[in-house]
A = this chain, B = another copy of it.
Amino acid sequence: MSVCEKYFPDEPTEPKLVTAFPGPKSKDAVASLDKVFDARPVYFVADYEKSSGNYIVDVDGNAYLDVYAQIASIPLGYNNPALVEVAKSDKMTRAIIDRPALGNFPGKDTEEIISELLKVAPKGQDKIWSGLSGADANELAFKAAFMWYQAKKRGYASTFSEAENESVMKNQAPGSPELAILSFERAFHGRLFASASTTCSKPIHKLDLPSFKWPKAQFPSYAYPLEANEESNKKEDERCLAIVEDLLKNWNVPIAAILIEPIQSEGGDNHASNAFFQGLRDLTLKYGSLLIIDEVQTGVGATGKFWAHEHFNITPAPDMVTFSKKFQSAGYYFHDPEIIPNVAYRQFNTWCGDPARMILAGAIGQEVVKHNLAERAAQVGDYLYGKLETLFGKYSELITDLRGKNRATFIAWSFKKPELRNKFLNDMKSVGINIGGCAEDSVRLRPTLVFEEKHADILVAGIEKILSGY
């Protein structure tokens, strides 16, 4: 019996459509919700009570195979019984109702809660700082990076100068210095002000927001299939690394850290080679910056390893690794004690994360390990990739750049005519599949970790049915 069958004996065996999309009850519910909440981006209103495993059910009773999974954030399927048990535990109840100011009054179970997250830490990492969302995790990492950079500059003193203490209250240097985080074109790292300053995938994410004038390098744009374009893709790596080095040397303010996704997700499922990532690591060491890997979307098994950057064997290990989404909790892993600020209360806030969400993350991590779900995702992904490669061979006038080989189910492709992409995402609902896009022309697969070969078959058949009508 497969893990999915064990978890979800009652999962639907196929999509079930009882109304057109969106259904009348969903439409009514959206109209009503819109009076109190901005419901314009709503696709449909879900009935989570009836959803199960890989299937999300809407209020009209339609059951969709879900390969988008709440923007890549449901790890183990809807209503996973192992997580129900955790959610019903007394430990969880206390974490919900007695939410501590974790930095001041941790509970007797805090160390254990954090240790569970460390059991699945990326290779080389052994400490954690906790936050609340992907954007928050990245900005907390920025804070750590800036404090680290300035500590080094002032020779690791445990005090601050009078000039620093006075100027910072006016948002002026030297207390509030001009420093930058280097990110990449097409990157997505969140939508708060500092994180939005590093995000560079679509104008809509940040129009009208004041920003930090931080630099953007270029992320490699590879030619596909990779096997046939090794030489030119290697040159592309070199071109992009040269841009990074130029910015590290010549940008008008010091760059405290480089921030990068292992696979640019929102920005189009853009991949880069092991050599490119090692090249970045080497440059950060050469120029005295930190390397922050944003695993918000790629982490927790989705690419066939628990953390996607583990595919690259970056040496030495990255300085910080941020997480959120499938982990249901957020924060960053790190290992260098120098990344802990010189005095207490600098990396601090009232809650310092949410133990309720951290307990859940610990349980998710243990389930992934116990059931080898990253390895299973790799198997299922290989199966699915093969089927898609064959299928898209028949539709090469429509589809290009199939991506994500050897990256489990973290698969994407592009439409040659970008205007067909949105139509495709919508049309897939008519075959009972909930699927998401990235960039302007691409489709990204982000199923749960209990997505199996039988689901892949339904997905591929659904794609073929839609493409055959174009």
Contacts and interface: CB of A to CB of B under 8 A. Distances in A.
A203 B164 contact: yes
A94 B347 CA distance: 32
A2 B108 CA distance: 31
A357 B164 CA distance: 38
A416 interface: no
Interface in A14-48: 29, 32-33, 36-48
A3 interface: no
Contact of A111 (B33, B114, B142): B33
A271 interface: no
Contacts of A325: 350
Nearest to A111: B33
Contacts of A462: none
A73 B351 contact: yes
B36 A128 contact: yes
Given A36-B115, A93-B88, A107-B45, A193 B190 contact: no
B51 A164 contact: no
A74 B98 contact: yes
Interface stretch (A206-214, A242-250, A394-402, A407-415): A206-214
A83 B95 CA distance: 11
Interface in A233-282: none
A168 B206 contact: yes
Nearest to A206: B168
A304 to B, nearest CB: 22
B42 A191 contact: no
B128 A37 contact: yes
A97 B114 contact: no
Given A38-B344, A41-B345, A128-B36, A84 B93 contact: yes
Contacts of A194: 192-194, 210
A417 to B, nearest CB: 21
A348 interface: yes
Interface string A112-141: 001100100000001111101111100100
A105 B70 contact: yes
A340 B149 CA distance: 39
Nearest to A59: B108
A126 to B, nearest CB: 8
B208 A146 contact: yes
A387 interface: no
Interface stretch (A176-184, A305-313, A452-460): A176-184
A96 B92 contact: yes
Give the interface centre of A74, A134, A147, A168 by most chain B CB atoms within 10 Å. A168
B200 A169 contact: yes
Contact of A42 (B38, B98, B106, B128): B106
A106 B350 contact: no
A62 interface: no
Nearest to A115: B36
- Please report whether the interface of chain A is mostly helix, strand, loop or mixed according to DSSP: loop
Contacts of A229: none
A19 to B, nearest CB: 15
B192 A29 contact: no
A171 interface: yes
A150 interface: yes
Interface string A147-183: 1011100000000100011001111100111111000
A118 B36 contact: yes
9 contacts: A47-B108, A71-B104, A78-B98, A87-B96, A133-B136, A134-B349, A165-B203, A176-B207, A324-B350
Interface of A: 29, 32-33, 36-49, 51, 56, 59, 70-71, 73-74, 78-80, 83-84, 86-88, 90, 92-94, 96-108, 110-111, 114-115, 118, 126-130, 132-136, 139, 142-143, 146-147, 149-151, 160, 164-165, 168-172, 175-180, 185, 190-194, 197, 200, 203-204, 206-214, 216, 324-325, 328, 340, 343-351, 354, 356-357, 360
Given A70-B104, A80-B97, A132-B133, 18 more contacts: A32-B111, A36-B115, A37-B129, A41-B103, A42-B104, A44-B105, A45-B105, A45-B106, A70-B105, A71-B350, A74-B99, A87-B97, A134-B349, A142-B193, A164-B203, A175-B206, A354-B354, A356-B356
